[in-house]
Homo-oligomer: A and B are copies of this chain.
């Protein structure tokens, strides 16, 4: 687990969002790759998932037709304690911001945002 690779992976907004949403969910949760709302085409999505895998942050399981991501929480907490909290806090802040703006109905309709 290389810090440089991890930081490079987390420098991108889309990838940080994926990790933060996974970290907001329960331990061991698998989430469908298509369930992340990213502002990019699917080829780019595939690319981002690969970067996250190669940084050792997630594992990807192939369902034949679809696939799912699982956060490698134990590894991350062991090598980078506190890192996930940072990302979750950022995600929470951004969803608070959009809740303020619209009055209701921000990003927190995503599963797990209210859970932990």
Residue numbers of A with Cβ under 8 A of B are 3-4, 7-8, 10-13, 16, 80-83, 85-87, 90
Contacts and interface: CB of A to CB of B under 8 A. Distances in A.
Contacts of A13: 4
Contact of A82 (B16, B82, B90): B82
A80 B81 CA distance: 12
SS of A interface (majority) = helix
A94 to B, nearest CB: 10
Contacts of A11: 4, 7-8, 11
A3 B15 CA distance: 12
A21 to B, nearest CB: 15
Contacts of A85: 81-82
